[in-house]
Copies of this chain bind each other. A is one copy, B any other.
């Protein structure tokens, strides 16, 4: 439980994975890669942030939303592999920011997720990344995040 302890050390805790509301699963293991379903800033079943960044939400709130999304990605991934300690590396993050027209600072929002991954996993937390804007996300969440990780071979 090293990774979960590390999360606590830096002031976070791993949430329960959100139950999918339809015919998909939180994450899928194939070979030594885990692909997780897109995660929003949900905590205890409630949306913590709602709205577009640059309009209803500030960039700092978007950053926090991305952080929560990243925790939810880890929770989703845990459902597929049992323990986060099996993660070898964070391979990639793709973050979609629900953006007001004229808001162009999506990378700074997604830093909320990237910064956290490196705080938790160190050098192995460094990942390929895409930060994108969009005009609409499910339930009007501000950020949706995807993560791919590799697991340790043994």
Q: Are B38 and A132 in contact (CB under 8 A)?
A: yes
Question: What is the size category of the interface that chain A forms with chain B?
Answer: 35 or more
What residues on B are CB-neighbors of A127 within 8 Å?
A: 24-25, 28
User: Is the CB of A138 closer than 8 A to any CB of chain B?
Assistant: yes
User: Is the CB of A117 closer than 8 A to any CB of chain B?
Assistant: yes
- Shortest Cβ distance from residue A136 to the other chain B in the assembled complex, whole angstroms: 3
Q: Given known contacts A30-B150, A118-B23, is B136 in contact with A36 (CB within 8 Å)?
A: no
Rank and list the top 3 A-B pairs by shortest CB-CB distance, nearest first: A133-B136, A38-B130, A24-B129
A contact residues vs B (CB 8 Å cutoff): 20-28, 30-33, 35-38, 89, 91-94, 96-97, 99-108, 111, 114-115, 117-118, 125-140, 144, 146, 148, 150
